[in-house]
Structure 1
Amino acid sequence: MSLLNRLAVVAALSIAACSPGEPASSAPAPQTTPDSGRREVALFAGGCFWSTESNFEHMPGVTSAVSGFAGGTVANPSYEQVVQGGTGHVEAVQVTYDPARITYRQLVDRFWRTIDPTDPDGQFCDQGPSYATAVFATAAQRPIAEASRAAAAAVIGERRFVTPVRNVARFWPAEAYHQDFARRNAVRYGGYSRFCGREARLRAVWGR
């Protein structure tokens, strides 16, 4: 979905209210383990980066989630360049976390349950190459990511599971207006998410 179309959907649904159980505006869970001061980074492509960012940023142990682009050949691409195609980038989110409070395996396990890994062409109402899904893993992260992928694929079937684990790629942050979109625009994002049928599709894929 192009920026113009995506924002048009958001604008059209801006009068909608988030459902009572919607987590978009909820406060982060209280810390149960002291911050160790250590930081590690994980990189995920889950379709619309507004959603991927929102799925991670409230997890205890996650210190930041930044929307951007990865996997392409153009330096510092703009959103318009990426969605128009030809740069090779996908929308991605760089997750920084405290490994003493949450593990990389926990992050990857969480990631699968927030996407439809059976769709090779995008996610939900966002379709096209820039919305393809992937886990971008370093050499050290790859065995963990692959093990997590195998466990998730066993739930829904390996043949249906198309989201790959890819080699880590250069990450470029997106424009400022994309950052924290779901948190800063909770009502409009809630409408967009419902329009895209995210929850219904996730229930159909994962049986929840």
Structure 2
Amino acid sequence: MEYATFAGGCFWCMVKPFDQWDGIEKVVSGYMGGHVENPTYEDVKGGESGHLEVVQITFDPSVFTYEQLLEIYWMQIDPTDAGGQFHDRGASYATAIFVHSEEQRQKALASRDVLAASGRFKKPIVTAIRDAQTFYIAEDYHQDYYKRERARYEADREKSGRDTFINEHWTKA
């Protein structure tokens, strides 16, 4: 098993796209990239801890590859927005790929370069590729939010503009 860690704005919206495939053992919401030990949701949301909201995926690369995870990741975010994602604004909602190995770094860089060269986006790709740091699991009420709070999850996605963006950039190929 390996880990993949992605920041894509609100972690509630980043679990479901990865949580439905063979070879994915689990997808956990949490925090990475900051300077405060054991941050809380309030610490992260307030922007003082330096952490980003992330999902950490435990996967079997012989069944579901890192490249496949990267493809799904890019299709969930606006990689040109440095100020957050959709209606979630601020540094804790920025996009980033946290790599756990040099091999992941090379694959992430290559996938970013392919996306940048594709012409799919008019603005430059600003998603950071960073070294993985300590992963802090988010509070229990954030885990599997799309399953436990389905109506609220769907309303938040609708309000955010994420699905409209995805449809405009990925389904209208």
1:176 to 115, 140, 144: 140
Offset of residue 140 of structure 1:
2.5
Residue number among 99, 109, 118 corresponding to 2:80 in the alignment: 118
| Cα deviation digits, residues 79-119 of structure 1 (max 9, x gap) | 00111112110000100011111011110111001111111
Q: Which structure 2 residues correspond to residues 107-146 of structure 1 after superposition, within 5 A?
A: 107-137=69-99, 138-146=101-109
Distance in structure 1 (CA, Å) of the matches to 2:20 and 2:81: 26
What residue number does 1:5 align with?
none
Aligned with 1:117: secondary structure?
Answer: coil
Task: In structure 1, list runs of 5 or more residues that go unmatched.
Answer: 1-38
Unaligned runs of 5+ in 2: none
What is the distance in 2 between the residues matched to 1:152 and 1:207?
A: 15
- Map residues 39-188 of structure 1 onto 2, 5 A cutoff: 39-137=1-99, 138-155=101-118, 156-157=120-121, 159-188=123-152
State the superposition RMSD in angstroms.
Answer: 1.4
Partner Cα separation in structure 2 for residue 157 and residue 185 of structure 1: 33
1:139–1:167 Cα contact (<8 Å) kept? no
Structure of greater Rg: 1
Deviates more, 1:197-206 or 1:100-109: 197-206
Q: TM-score, normalized by length of structure 2?
A: 0.93
Distance 2:169 2:130 in 1: 22
C-alpha displacement at 1:158, in angstroms? Answer: 8.1
Superposed structure 1 runs of 4+ greater than 4 Å apart: none
1:206 CA displacement: 3.6
Mapped partners of 1:186, 1:47: distance in 2: 18
Structure 2 Cα separation of the partners of residues 127 and 159 of structure 1 = 18
Kindly state the Cα deviation for residue 207 of structure 1 after the two structures are TM-superposed.
5.4
- C-alpha distance in structure 1 between counterparts of 2:150 and 2:171, whole Å: 26
The answer to whether 1:200 aligns with 2:164 is yes
1:194 to partner: Cα distance: 0.5
